[in-house]
Structure 1
Amino acid sequence: MHFATVPLQAPTARLTTYLEEPISVLGCLHSTVSKFGLTCPAHFFIVEHGTALLGMDLIKGLKLQFDGHKVLSPPHVASVCTLSSPPLKDVRLGCVKYFTHKVNVSDSVLPIRCKLRRLPFSVRDAVSIELRRLPEADVIEEIDSSPWVSPVMVVQKKTGGIRMCVDLRGPNKAITVDSYPLPHMEVMMTLLQGADTFSTIDLESAYHQVPLHEDSRDLTAFITHKGLFRFKRVPYGLASAPAAFQKMIAIILDGLQNVANYLDDIIVWGRTVQEHDLALQNVLQRLRDAGLQLNNSKCQFRKQSLKFLGHKVTAQGIQVDQEHLSAILDAPVPSDAVQLRSLIGLLSWYNKFIPNFASVVVPLRACLKAENGFCWSEDAQNSLTEVKKLLVNSPALALFHPEWQVVISTDASAYGLGAVFSQIVRSCPSGSIAFASRTLSTAEQKYSTVEKEALACVWAVEKWRTYLWGRRFILRTDHQALTTLLTTKGTDCAGMRIARWATRLLCFDYSVEYRAGSENYTADCLSRLPLPFVSDTTSDAEPEFVTLVSTALTAISKEEFATASASCPELSALRMQISRSWPASLSALDPVLQPYYKLRAELSVQADFVFRGARLIVPGALRDSLVHIAHEGHQGIVRTKQRLRDIYWWPKMDINVMDKIAACQLCLSLDKTTKVSQVPLQPVPLPSAPWEKLAIDIVGPFETAVWDCRYAITLTDYYSKWPEVAFTASITTKQVTSFLTTVFSRHGNPTTIVSDNGPQFTSPEFAAFLKGRNIAHVRTANYHPSANGAVERFHRVLKSTIQSAILQSASWKVTVTDFLQVYRATPHAITGVSPFELLHGRKMRTSLDVLAPPSAVLDPSQLRKRVLARQEHMKLRFDHSRHVRPTCMHVMKAHPKFTPPVEVKEKVGSYTYLLEDGKKWHASCLAPVPDVASKGTGDTETEQGKPSHAFLSGTSESVPPGKCQSRKPAWLTDYVS
């Protein structure tokens, strides 16, 4: 129809497309349409261009009928595809409508300007042609300047041409990538189940059809020999491009059936040719309306099998792409580790097609672990040949059908897990859908057989959770015990680990079936030939603990209680007394029954059981057993008595409970009221000369320090109090010996060096270092830092200096160096003389000295008297105000304070003891074993293992807690006592 001479009326409505794009309406026309003898009035909207649309009013008025299966025929498919491409004379690419990509750039990253990379002369002409073509296609534009400048690189195509690329690694560091997810390969393939006709659509230079926002274009600027350019469309290599493009295509195709895409690769399918053609027409129409241009040479229409994402897709399932397979078969032997990793990565893409893939590539992976570097062995060559053979003969994997019965077959071997995902339709297997295997970790290999089999089940179910959750499936195993252990009917019989795994499966609806290993061949093979284990955030590997398991306490039955009650002489006499009248006085009663006299009004006999009110009176033979049962959770005395009082009673029950709990070694270890031994201060004698006896220690780590100041090694001279400090990044034995070597080169070797029991000081290397210099090594008692008080006291001053450096934002090393000069020149509180003067025999000249400092005249006897006087004064104050604390080390919440008893073997110092387990402890870390415990365990002495105390019994050197003497008040002085 032609409307050039027809008068049009003003439009009566505003029209838009399904993407809310306004449609330009030229006018309206009212007319009458006749067809097949029928006449119907119609209202037409006249637009500039586009396909004519017939409204429902005309379809119903003219009684038109359409056969949906004949709407699209093969010629139409080709014509629609052709219409999706511009005329040959138009060199511009398609440009998507309504979408503009704006890149989110972090302000914290400064722009990077790269220099021009000179291109080889052989490709310069080809690059020049590309730089002329891209502006004509409206992809790039020339500019004068940009804060971001990236270099150009050239890649050789298979056809012999070149592909010009921009190295955008610099700008990508500043880009905040959209978190829109890319579809998973397995999920996409599941959608194809039941389809027998397929088509794939490829977009021409897909990213280049998406316009780039004006504010983001400078980010893509690149330098060439022709000048500076920037992209007007989204370039390849931009970090934010994949997620943004996937999101855009998903929006364009939203609502359409039988279509999925992975970036610019679009697949359309149908269960029939008609269903496929209708879906294809809808997809092509959407793409054309969006302004996207297709790459006709790469599109495939109405195929029974085609290539998609490296796989061959057919109605029977998915197979290995023969083109990719040819690349693997023709691949040369790797010459280095990088090429081998690339080859293994390519092979791993197809591992789901090969049940025993992991075992075949073991020799290949061994080449990567060679101690002497990469070495291609004969086993590796045989492995590569075998995996190529397996790929050629690999089976096709069936596609998941949501209506068919799912079967998960699992198995476990000594070092691996295996699983097979399959389905059953009409009681017949439909084929394997996926294979999986993995290696057990070192901890998991220590599990029992039943635990490994249970782990295989849990791992397989959670691996395929996407397919299994919300549907009934069969979990098949060759370990018959799991048919009850992994179900609700058998959880009570399972161990703690299996019971916990069973709770993880409670959200699934499944049944466990047993199948012998001979019938479960595939899963059994996978478990014995597993993939290498890759740890994740939800690893089932657990730390191993060695636990002392005691015999479980057995509950007392009613029959046992009745038997014990009947055979108890005390209760037999009590029953007889209750049946008679009680005497008038207590003295007239049998001594055995006297404790019951005051309670006689509450006593009664019911069915040969004696009650005090509603509580049972326990026969003597069962009292200890009931106390043990009530104390099973090792609660305190009060709570144990409360448990018993609700049900039972017997004379002196409270005393029995207290005695039993006081004899419980575990409760003694946990008792917070147990006091350690109070030990008086033990001064260290002053050495006979400077630099004769040294103390060494390590302080740190400092959280706010720079990397090379996280720790500080400190050294102090017992005689002169001269300190040495060295900052270090690590605290290995090598660092300590290097520090000592430097110090000894200045001052010489000492006679003795004192340290704690840190691993740096107990290592064989440190012992060899001291032995080579003829230096005696003295280690303090475990967890008794005050034994090395000389250096520990210096740490307090050193930490204050570091804190001042932090507050002033000053260099730690400079601040500590200045502090050491002042410290060495200042008279010490103990000696009254500066460390410098005692060590060097002269005074240090400092900035305070106007004249040369006078020569020092030191009297060793006076020095020794002063030191002894100061030490006696400190000892008097310390011993007088001594308050014992449970421990000076950190005790974690889940750990007990004390260990079980350990006997003292030898006294090796004034207050230091060697125990039977070979450990040396100071008396301040030991506590006596209570007498009540000694009655049950013998006279034993215990020590404190990390992090708890030990017990020490009957040491004469222990200082008892001080007691205040009670004095008679003044107002009672007139009374005679």
Structure 2
Amino acid sequence: MGFKNASAIFQRYMDRILQDEIGKSCFVYVDDILIFGKDEKTHDEAFIRIADILIKNGLVINKDKLEFRKKSVIFLGHMIEGNKIRPLFDNREAIKNFPIPKNVEDVRQFHGIVNYYRKFIRNCSDLVEPIIRLTRKNVKFEWTEEANSNFEKLKKFLLSEIVLKQPDFNKPFYLDTDASNIGLGAILSQKHDDGLHPIAYASRKLIPAERNYSITEKEMIAALWAMEHFRYFLLGKEFILTTDHRALEALNTKGELKSARIQRWIERIQNFNFVVSYKKGKDMPHVDALNRISDNVLTVDCNVSNISDDNLELILQTHEDLVHRGSKAVYDKIKQLGNNSITLNDCYTTLRNFNTCKLYNPIKVKGMKHIQAYEPGELFAFDIIGPYEDRYIITDIDYFSRKAFADIIENRSPEEILKFLVKVYQNLPFKTLISDSAKENKSKFISLWCKDKGVKQHFTTPHHHHSNGRIERFNRTIREGINKQRKDIPLRNRVENTINSYNSTKHSVIRMSPLEALRPENQAKVKLNQFKYIIKMHRE
């Protein structure tokens, strides 16, 4: 008998070792790994990388369960085939044969199945409400005609051939939105030869304050929320906004709308280029009541071309000249200057990530904080690795320039650590020191020295190496450098060789060596390259 949370522990372990591949070339659920690529070459390269990671971490691949280069796969109850996703047929059969619920437990079981596939169901919350109502306290379990009718409708939906398609960026997008007294709903779709096909469904509930809005305000917030939710598909392209509320036809003429709240929303809406198409509510049954479904969206990442240095600087300068106006205003001004190579999406992405108003806010990338430094010595991180030959290696790195330091210490005592920190501080004074929460790092001996020098200490969460990722990545470089050199070379020499090589080699993010990055004339370029990297990470 094992731990009851063993699966969660293993999932966390898999997420950690495959963190650089998840979302880019694979998805992982416990011990099931789905590897994908746009063609056989990228698929095979991804497989080799992932297999190498698994082997290095002592995991065994079951060759009997491997399936290569499949055109369609079953994963987590879904059939994925080319650019289509649909519910798994076997599960739909189980729903077809599901008996009428006799008690609360049966209702919860059925609701669990429906909830898992609700992204394929229109009006899901409306349909399930009479059924789930029976699970509430102080409600007598009585299977009504309404509950039975909706029960059959839900089964019919899940047995139908509802398919979500991937986007084609050569075709225009259609965004259908709607609002009710309960929530907001949206469908992103594209027109094909056989009609409109959904790419993604999305919805959210209204918060209590929003439920007091007027009809026009609810419809407008539905449009704004949907645009921002699907912004990676819509920015920089003209799309068709379909609504059943005529007042939204005045979105681009804000003088006609007197509400200050709506005026603020319009400022955000101006980032998008769209044409409003009015349809009667009866002609939009596919959106009506999607607004009652909780957030549940299936999307596909899109790639956007890189912004050149000249264009990046032009966007930032124009933003300053316009006193920090929005991306649409910046885009319009740049067009007036005669530059047609910059898109609205370029302006939005740049100002969202490289806005001086947000300069010192940590930027989240893939759910993690991407810590940035904006001058040498602003942030330093250190760590201890080993033992190597009964000794330890202490490492230190400047977050701005990526310049690294390392030395051999006899033990992990605060005295040994402080000797190293003093030596580094004399070479490059630092303002903030990041380390793990080991007791020697928190010693009064080190804390008093930091206080005397005006250095702030920051300790990462125990057993969470991601929060000090830069030093962890450098530690890997040190380990590889030591192990790849001949063992007859003294350890100290191997460490020095690795450090010298690292500091004089071009870094992929700042696009110059750490030693070059410390030169005053290069520091503006370092900042620029750092932000370009952040923008790239957001896109990916």
**TM-score, normalisation: structure 1:** 0.27
Larger % of helix: which?
2
Larger relative contact order (CA 8 Å, sep ≥ 6): 2
Normalising by the residue count of structure 2, what TM-score does the alignment of the two structures yield?
0.47
